[in-house]
Amino acid sequence: MRVTIRDVAKAANVSHATVSRALNRASDPFISDATRNRIIETARQMGYQPNRAARALVTGRTGQISLCLWTENIHNSYQWNVTHVAHAVMQSRSYELLVNLVGYKTLELAEKNLVSPPSVDGIICYEAAPALGAMFGGALPAHLPIVTAGTYNLLHGVDRVAIDLSEGSFDAMRHLIGQGRKRIAYLTNDKSVNKDPRYIAYVSSMNEAGLPLEIIETPSGRAGPRLLIGQYVAERGAPDAIFCHNDDIAIGAYRGLRDVGLGVPEDVAVVGCDGLEDTEYLDNPISTIVQPLARVLELSCEYVLARIDNPDRPIESTVIKSKFVARESSGG
Amino acid sequence: MRVTIRDVAKAANVSHATVSRALNRASDPFISDATRNRIIETARQMGYQPNRAARALVTGRTGQISLCLWTENIHNSYQWNVTHVAHAVMQSRSYELLVNLVGYKTLELAEKNLVSPPSVDGIICYEAAPALGAMFGGALPAHLPIVTAGTYNLLHGVDRVAIDLSEGSFDAMRHLIGQGRKRIAYLTNDKSVNKDPRYIAYVSSMNEAGLPLEIIETPSGRAGPRLLIGQYVAERGAPDAIFCHNDDIAIGAYRGLRDVGLGVPEDVAVVGCDGLEDTEYLDNPISTIVQPLARVLELSCEYVLARIDNPDRPIESTVIKSKFVARESSGG
DNA sequence: ATGAAAGCGCTAACAC
DNA sequence: GTGTTAGCGCTTTCAT
């Protein structure tokens, strides 16, 4: 059996309450230094580890934060960055990080009541609002600190850190149109695209310039777009430029164009969105709309933690702008 | 207050014990279907969510598994893949995934007793043996299911899934030497390199071929190696080939070589290690030693879960071979 | 088939 | 300063 607080108490010749005090409240003056040190030493020797479930039961705090991430359309280092930053902040504040990866399957499971929300002190919901809502059966619990972060799917009535892609998207389109490119395609895996800021920027910029829309649907990830773009070009010829819904698609498209012997940007300009590190390491680095992820996550963490400390604070809402960065893939 | 099992009991006119039975033991025959359905319905209506801490306290099970990952030298999609696979398996078995990212800092903190091991039902320790050991104060708890996975730092006395890089490394070296390349450098961030299978393969292959060693130390990640390789080449000229400790370094080196106008593989061949998806999307995809990550993680998960079910099963140990894949970056 | 009661390991209020 | 006591919400015997 694992050693408990009572075992330590017996060995140190005190009550278990005293052990609890000695171990937990570093600055509690109502205990003598001698006793405290003796207890700490005894606990160490006996290899005492607190039972977190027991502590959580009585305090109502688990010491855990859930990072709830939507993983359906995005596949790579992007989410790792998110996880990494969140973990770093949480660790520095002595919280553990529970990772909840959600997707369409989560929605299904939630409907059948086969998935339940995590029991944690707070939730960072990153692009995962629908799944989180579904897990809670539609109604978010009033007293659980939650912060939504990301570009869309933001929840209402909770703290939020929103990423604004609009300006970056318009800049990207201006950049492409300004180069005199006429046939500019929009490559996306998003089926409900019509209220996405990237899509909106694409459509309205093209309309304004009097250019025809060319919207291409693709699977998500890299391998799918890679294959698809080759076939597409074979059938309909190559566009002058491709504005991609995200960087993974852009990287796939880049590779697909190279596969069929087309040069980027000589033949086709490619622009992505997200700011994945990977885009910088290609022979012709990909222009992209950089999202200040670290900033977003740090702020998100700050918001949950602040609300844990003070549940009644006013709701916070920050919008963080992403920025278009022109690189070689679009002749930048 | 949150609704408890007692609230449901009162509403359904039964004892709380009956509620517990109805909700948890789907196949317990000692309860009438009528009662069970009534209780389930009541619970649903009231929005009952079990308190996991309370359950954990009495059952001794948290329903959580920790994925303990070493994050000091590795930086990108690699760890995301690990996390993703682990999460998928664990979710399908109704376990939550706690992510514990550890590094040199963890070792320091552990020494000062400022970090404690997670309270979970099992731990998957991926390349993180020293940190995990430190968190437990040197001695792993006898009855906690742990599996070590990865290429090194494996623990003793627990289940393990080891990745064997040796064969792949020798293949890589044979491949480079076989092309008649003479000046082959080894680019690494690993300071205690001398028992690493990649290093061993490099040294012994070079010796056998009568070629001089050229070991280059680099920071980890991508940006560091990128910068470093440019400076190195300026000072000492370019090697014929670079065997890199991992794919991030390889990607950085590739980019660094392109920065200074060198062609890969025309001027310098580049070989990496890990099998990151990113390596396939460069203009000249990078040859690498592919680690069957999904396989490794699935097996690791299987081992912990099996040991949770049966603590007395014999210790398992599997070695999984990684495989060298020649691509364009080394003229493959 | 259901209820009563014990207790998991811990914290915190209160007694001394 | 330290000990005693009462639960936290749940599962699980043991009665009935």
pLDDT tens-digit series, residues A37-83: 888 889 988 989 999 999 999 999 999 999 999 887 655 678 888 99
Do B246 and B197 contact (CB within 8 A), yes or no? no
Q: What is the pLDDT of residue B89?
A: 95
Q: What is the pLDDT of residue B28?
A: 64
Q: A132: closest CA among A103, A112, A157?
A: A103
Contact B139 A222 (CB under 8 A): no
- Mean pLDDT of chain B, nearest integer: 92
User: How many CA atoms lie less than 13 Å away from B292 in the CB half-sphere?
Assistant: 16
Alpha-carbon span B262 to B256, nearest angstrom: 9
Which residues form the domain of B177? 166-290
Interface of B with A in 240-299 (CB under 8 A): 251-252, 254-255, 258, 277-278, 280-284
Residue A332, in any domain of the structure: no
Q: What's the token pair of residue A111?
A: 């409907």
Interface of A with B in 189-228 (CB under 8 A): 222, 226
Q: What is the pLDDT of residue A28?
A: 64
Q: A266: closest CA among A240, A285, A288?
A: A240
Same-domain check for residues A155 and A206: no
Is the pLDDT confidence value at B301 over 90? yes
pLDDT digits (tens, 9 = 90+) for A121-159: 999 999 999 999 999 887 888 889 999 999 877 888 999
| Pairing between β-strand B64-70 and β-strand B122-126 as defined by DSSP bridges | parallel
pLDDT digits (tens, 9 = 90+) for A215-272: 999 998 899 999 999 999 999 999 999 999 999 999 999 999 999 999 999 999 999 9
Q: What's the token pair of residue B4?
A: 């408890």
C1 closest protein residue (CA to C1'): B31
Same-domain check for residues A261 and A272: yes
| From A249-263, B26-40, B154-168, B246-260, the region with the lowest mean pLDDT | B26-40
Does any strand D atom come closer than 7 Å to the Cβ of A47? Answer: no
For B283, name the nearest residue in chain A, comparing CA atoms only.
A283
The secondary structure of residue A64, as a DSSP letter, is E
Place of tokens 């500019």: A184
| Pairing between β-strand B122-126 and β-strand B96-102 as defined by DSSP bridges | unpaired
Of all residues in chain A, the percent with pLDDT exceeding 90 is 72
Alpha-carbon span A172 to A38, nearest angstrom: 65
Candidates B51, B52, B278; nearest CB to A278: B278
Phi/psi region, residue B91 (left: phi>0; alpha: psi -120 to 50; beta: rest), is: alpha
- Mean pLDDT of chain A, nearest integer: 92
Candidates A101, A116, A141; nearest CB to B84: A101
Write the CATH number for A283.
3.40.50.2300
Domains held by chain A: number: 3
CA of A88 to C1' of D5 (A): 40
Q: What is the pLDDT of residue A112?
A: 82
* SS3 per residue for A225-270: HHHHHHHHHHHHCCCCEEEECCHHHHHHHHHHHHHCCCCCCCCCEE
Q: B4: closest CA among B59, B50, B42, B44?
A: B50
Do B188 and B202 contact (CB within 8 A), yes or no? no
Query: Is residue B65 classed as helix, strand or coil in its secondary structure?
Result: strand
Run of H or E including B319: strand B317-321
pLDDT digits (tens, 9 = 90+) for A162-198: 999 999 999 999 999 999 999 999 999 987 777 899 9
Place of tokens 């279907």: B33
Alpha-carbon span B67 to A268, nearest angstrom: 43
Residue A327, in any domain of the structure: no
- Chain A nearest-CA distance from B75, in A, is 9
Run of H or E including B165: none
The distance from CA A279 to its chain's CA centroid, rounded to whole angstroms, is: 18
Q: How many CB atoms lie within 10 A of CB B3?
A: 13
Q: What's the token pair of residue B255?
A: 């980019």
Does any strand D atom come closer than 7 Å to the Cβ of B57? Answer: yes
Alpha-carbon span B269 to B285, nearest angstrom: 11
List all residues 6 or more positions away from A179 whose beta carbon is below 8 Å from its beta carbon: A241, A269, A330, A331
Same-domain check for residues B30 and B178: no
A86-111: average pLDDT: 92
Distances (CA, A) of B279 to A67, A251, B262: 28, 11, 18
Distances (CA, A) of A45 to A99, A251, A316, B112, B133: 33, 55, 46, 14, 16
Candidates A91, A99, A113; nearest CB to B83: A99
Structural domain ending residue among the three candidates B22, B42, B59:
B59
Same-domain check for residues B42 and B71: no
Of all residues in chain B, the percent with pLDDT exceeding 70 is 97
Alpha-carbon span B59 to B53, nearest angstrom: 10
Write the CATH number for B41.
1.10.260.40
Q: What is the pLDDT of residue B27?
A: 66
Q: Which long-range contacts (CB under 8 A, 24 or more apart) does B44-47 make?
A: B44/A113, B46/B3, B46/B7, B46/B8, B46/B11, B47/A137, B47/A139, B47/B3
Rounded to two decimals, the pTM is: 0.91
Q: B183: closest CA among B235, B234, B241?
A: B241
Residue A227, in any domain of the structure: yes
Do A295 and A220 contact (CB within 8 A), yes or no? no
| From A112-116, A120-124, B230-234, the region with the lowest mean pLDDT | A112-116
Q: What is the rounded end-to-end Cα distance, in angstroms, of chain A?
A: 65
Distances (CA, A) of A24 to A17, A103, B112, B136: 11, 39, 16, 19
Q: What's the token pair of residue A86?
A: 């969140």
Residue A33, in any domain of the structure: yes
Same-domain check for residues B157 and B97: yes
Does any strand D atom come closer than 7 Å to the Cβ of B28? Answer: no
If you compute the radius of gyration of chain A from its CA atoms, what whole number of angstroms results? 26
pLDDT digits (tens, 9 = 90+) for A190-223: 877 778 999 999 999 999 999 999 999 999 889 9
Is the pLDDT confidence value at B81 over 70? yes
pLDDT band at B188 (very low <50, low <70, confident <90, very high): very high
Residue A115, in any domain of the structure: yes
Alpha-carbon span A224 to A73, nearest angstrom: 12
The secondary structure of residue B284, as a DSSP letter, is S
Same-domain check for residues A97 and A117: yes
pLDDT digits (tens, 9 = 90+) for B233-279: 999 999 999 999 999 999 999 999 999 999 999 999 999 999 988 99
Alpha-carbon span A184 to A215, nearest angstrom: 9
Q: What is the pLDDT of residue B297?
A: 96
Place of tokens 């912990």: B304
Same-domain check for residues B230 and B206: yes
Of all residues in chain A, the percent with pLDDT exceeding 70 is 97
Run of H or E including A315: none
Show residues, CB within 7 A, near nucleic chain C.
A 1-2, 4-6, 16-17, 20-21, 23-24, 48, 50-51, 54-55, 57-59; B 13-18, 21, 29-32, 34-36, 54, 57-58
Q: What is the pLDDT of residue A111?
A: 85
Q: With 0-12 CB in 10 A as exposed, 13-18 as middle and 19+ as buried, what is A22?
A: buried
Same-domain check for residues A191 and A266: yes
Would you say the C-alpha torsion B285, B286, B289, B290 has a positive or negative sign? negative
Q: A154: closest CA among A144, A143, A164, A168?
A: A164
Q: B103: closest CA among A118, A88, A302?
A: A88
Q: What is the pLDDT of residue A75?
A: 59
Q: Which residues of chain A are within 8 Å of residue B141 when distances are taken between CB atoms? A: 2
Q: What is the pLDDT of residue A72?
A: 76
Same-domain check for residues A175 and A258: yes
Q: What is the pLDDT of residue A88?
A: 93
Contact A139 B47 (CB under 8 A): yes
Same-domain check for residues A193 and A269: yes
Same-domain check for residues B150 and B102: yes
Interface of B with A in 221-240 (CB under 8 A): 222, 226
Same-domain check for residues B77 and B160: yes
Residue A50, in any domain of the structure: yes
Residue B332, in any domain of the structure: no
Q: What is the pLDDT of residue A113?
A: 78
Structural domain ending residue among the three candidates B35, B59, B83:
B59
